[in-house]
Amino acid sequence: MNDKKLKKLIKDNFNKDYPKGVDGYNVGSIEDIYEKAFKTAIEIKEKERQLELADAQFIGFKEGKWSSILGLIEAMGLTEDEWKDWKKKFPQILDGDDIKEINSHFKDKCSN
Q: Is the pLDDT score of 13 beyond 70?
A: no
Exposed / middle / buried, residue 58 (Cβ in 10 Å: 0-12, 13-18, 19+): buried
Nearest to 84, CA basis, from 62, 110, 42, 51: 51
- Give CA–CA dist 73/79, Å, rounded: 8
- Give CA–CA dist 45/51, Å, rounded: 10
**Could you please report the per-residue DSSP string of 51-89?**
HHHHHHHHHHIIIII-S-HHHHHHHHT--HHHHHHHHHH
Give me the residue spans of the domains in the chain. Answer: 3-111
Which of 23-27, 54-58, 90-94, 101-105 is least confident?
23-27
Calculate what percentage of the chain has a pLDDT beyond 70: 67
- Give CA–CA dist 109/33, Å, rounded: 39
The answer to whether the predicted template modeling score (pTM) of the entire model surpasses 0.75 is no
What are residue 13's phi and psi, to 5 degrees? Answer: -95, -25
Q: Is the pLDDT score of 46 beyond 50?
A: yes
The residue with greater pLDDT, 87 or 1, is: 87
